[in-house]
Structure 1
């Protein structure tokens, strides 16, 4: 992947990264101008001064020469559990992408060092929690400390670590600045949530089809004024297919509101994606080198990302609750016309009742995660940092919420699969590919068995 502009850098392309000559030259020009600005003698936060409550302290030349390394060393206060490799890689990739805008005014050599880390497969050990500051200095110290010989890696390819990099002026604070952690991790979760939301449309359509639900609620005309809702209703209608003889005039509410619930989820994902793009292209470094001068900014606050992570968590929690409610109705013969609890022998066999109970517990846990992260700021740095958005924590909660909603989706998918197996209703044409995939990993359910094995297979191969 040849990168000529910051926007060319993609999370979804796992191939080797190469920075174009033109991009490196532009970075070199910016770096030269920034170094020239430093010689003017005006104080520059974190470069010629201390940080936080010590920002009033001016550093002499000798102190400045070791200061950038010390910044990373003194702030690596985190510990296990570490981020999974995919999330850790996303943090590094987001920091590289924002470096390529030139705001951080780092050297091309530092950018190439990050490229070398990404291309080598080395993944830094980054703490999953404990970022209690106005920004992400603790996790970022762990993310980039290994560049200078501090910290550790999660993975270690046969060719070993990279040679230690010697940081130049401003490059230590640049590695700690901004919100690349929240940005990279949210970037990754947007992709995960997009895949999940597509699967949820299919699963809901399957549930609607297998109970013979009245199709009126999915008429695209019901989405007037909301193009996203209208499109979701049309999609569900196409996937579920027509139903000339619905079982009842009105299905349970959990079936009727599928379009509203999933379209809201998709809208929340899209809004987070927009916030991620703003974070990738906006000014988040402080100080940032803008129009030839160092400018102190507040881009590290990251409220935009934190708030949209919170919104998506709430949407996921509601989606999981509605999915869990549909599952309960699918176990009820009064709704489906099928054997109780979707078993071949009600009484001697328990059926899928415990699969629903797993979904209930998971939905309850999700509900507890829906507290907004940005509520309840705490002071640090002797009051210098008197508010914070807790974006790092917000995206951590989102990651867990996506995982838990996938679990609920797998539970409903298994339930719908079994309902079709016991029903005379055929799988609609729009859903045959999905249920064909399920048949490849889930053997026919003819009697009770450990359903956790089936759910694990669905999570790995289907959902």
Structure 2
């Protein structure tokens, strides 16, 4: 039962039910807003046109058609469509902003939206091509099946609820991915016999996030009484700093998501008894931290790929070349590293700042943009590709343990046992892409 807007999690999958007291509050706001509209004062997008046509006043007859037309005329997107989980997050993001009361929409529309979320058949929402201040194009697709009343068409299109909902989902995914990055990195440290000095608590003075990450690495990797060398390669030594940075930027994005949900994003918003034009659609805060996290993941993937390369090197691990059972006749996991290299190359192209672009639309009425929809799309792609490089390194860690005979530290046993359940022992070359797919779908 949702009693407050903050109770609604865009990453959740359970059916949504709204508390009667919350609905009563929203109904009271709606009644007051409709009474304010009766004054006839201009209210953007309600009794006026939109964008550069906002100077045009609409007749009562035009107003009745206008809210529905707002959705129809802006549904200009096409495939590729968002995955169903992301599409659901868009719908929940819109619902959460409505529950503040700023949009002054009817309880009837909220019931329509809840039914759309709960029926399990999410609408087709374009993954690309938002191209405006805000995200009116994907939102027009998202809510095409709803029947808006006065002021409700523009309310459905206002702000950046879609990017915010998708970012909330990304936060949940990256939190899990960060734990996997830590575990796989710890596995590489353990099986390579890396010196544990870089992971001591004294090395994290003044940085609580790093201290916690180093503690996790030490716990998972276990102690090493006789390290193979005084210094392991840099990709091993910086494992704590890399994932600590992912976790730190993840928290920054999580905070930005909450600001976006808690702040005023509707325009015009019904605030203190009057309609107020706002700039809540300008999602620079959200965009910047999506970009920041994308860069952090790209670096984590690069470091993971570098460690994977070192695991194939006998001078680092003391194991057979390329982790092959019979080097020469067998190539081992060298092609797995090549896949990771290609994936990190693709990741680098996602790291350009999204909001550094000005483009005019609506005859100059919208003359700057932040492209938050694109930023969260880049982040989703970065998550997917970082999971790929993590899977590649995990396969190598598992094979290295099998060849080394080293005992698996207790903290790593559940992860490596999960790999063993879906990946047969590697005794010869085979299509390792199939193994990676099983790891991605059943382990990570």
**Does the alignment reach a TM-score above 0.5?**
yes
1:222 alignment counterpart: 203
Residue aligning to 2:318: 337
State the SS of the aligned residue for 2:275: strand
Give secondary structure in 2 for the equivalent of 1:97: helix
Deviations 1:164-191, CA, capped at 9 Å, x for gaps: x3x2110000000010110111111111
Mapped partners of 1:220, 1:292: distance in 2: 55
* SS in structure 1 at match of 2:378: helix
Superposed CA deviations along residues 368-404 of structure 1, whole A, max 9, x for unmatched, are: 1100110122111111100000000011111100000
What pairs with 1:99-114 in structure 2 (closer than 5 Å)?
99-114=98-113
Trace 1:144-163 onto structure 2 (pairs within 5 A). Answer: 144-147=143-146
Once the two structures are TM-superposed, the CA of residue 12 in structure 1 deviates from its matched residue by 4.0
Give the one of 225, 249, 269 matched to 1:288: 269
Q: 1:195-242: per-residue Cα shift (whole Å, max 9, x none)? A: 111000000000000010000000011111110001000110111000
**Using the alignment, how far apart are the partners of 1:12 and 1:401 within structure 2?**
18
RMSD: 0.8
Give the structure 1 partner of residue 72 of structure 2.
Answer: 73
1:160 corresponds to: none
Deviation digits for residues 260-312 of structure 1 (CA, Å, limit 9, x no counterpart): 00000111111111111111111111111111111100010111111110001
Q: Deviations over 1:404-460 (max 9, x none)?
A: 000000000000000000002111011111111111011000000000010000001
1:15 aligned counterpart, secondary structure: coil
Q: CA deviation at 1:13?
A: 3.4
Q: 1:272-421, aligned counterparts within 5 Å?
A: 272-421=253-402
Equivalent-residue separation in structure 2 for 1:360 and 1:328 (angstroms): 10
The separation in 1 between residues aligned to 2:297 and 2:420, in whole angstroms, is 27
CA distance in 2, matches of 1:184, 1:10: 9
- In 2, Cα distance between equivalents of 1:453 and 1:82: 26
Which SS does the other structure have where 1:301 is aligned? coil
Distance 2:416 2:30 in 1: 56
Q: Is the 8 A contact 2:11 2:168 kept in 1?
A: no
Match status 1:83 vs 2:64: no
Show the 5 A alignment for 1:158-307: 165=147, 167-307=148-288
In structure 1, C-alpha distance between the alignment counterparts of 2:141 and 2:342, rounded to whole Å:
34
Distance (Å, rounded) in 2 between the aligned partners of 1:217 and 1:211: 15
Structure 1: gaps of 5 or more residues: 148-164
List gaps (5 residues or longer) in structure 2.
none
Partner residue of 1:143? Answer: 142
1:41 positional shift = 2.0
Deviation at 1:97, TM superposition (A): 0.7
> Whole-Å Cα distance in 2 between the matches of residues 223 and 45 of structure 1?
53
Per the alignment, residue 124 of structure 1 pairs with 123
Say which is worse superposed, 321-330 or 10-19, in terms of deviation: 10-19
Runs of 4+ in 1 over 4 A off after TM superposition: none
Q: Please, what TM-score do these two structures have when normalized by structure 1? A: 0.95
Matched residue pairs, number?
444
Task: Tell me, in whole angstroms, the C-alpha distance in 2 between the residues paired with 1:342 and 1:95.
Answer: 50
Take 1:109 and 1:70, find their aligned partners in 2: how far apart are those partners? Answer: 19
- Once the 2 structures are TM-superposed, how far is the Cα of residue 119 of structure 1 from its aligned partner? 1.2
Instruction: State the alpha-carbon separation in 1 of the partners of residues 207 and 221 from structure 2.
Output: 21
Return the alpha-carbon distance in structure 1 between the equivalents of residues 306 and 414 of structure 2: 25
Q: Which moved more, 1:412-421 or 1:271-280?
A: 271-280
Checking the alignment, whether the CA contact within 8 Å between 2:139 and 2:162 is kept in structure 1 is yes
Following the alignment from structure 1 to structure 2, what is the Cα–Cα distance between the partners of residues 123 and 146?
11
Q: What SS does structure 1 have at the residue aligned with 2:73? A: helix
Aligned residue in 1 for 2:23: 24
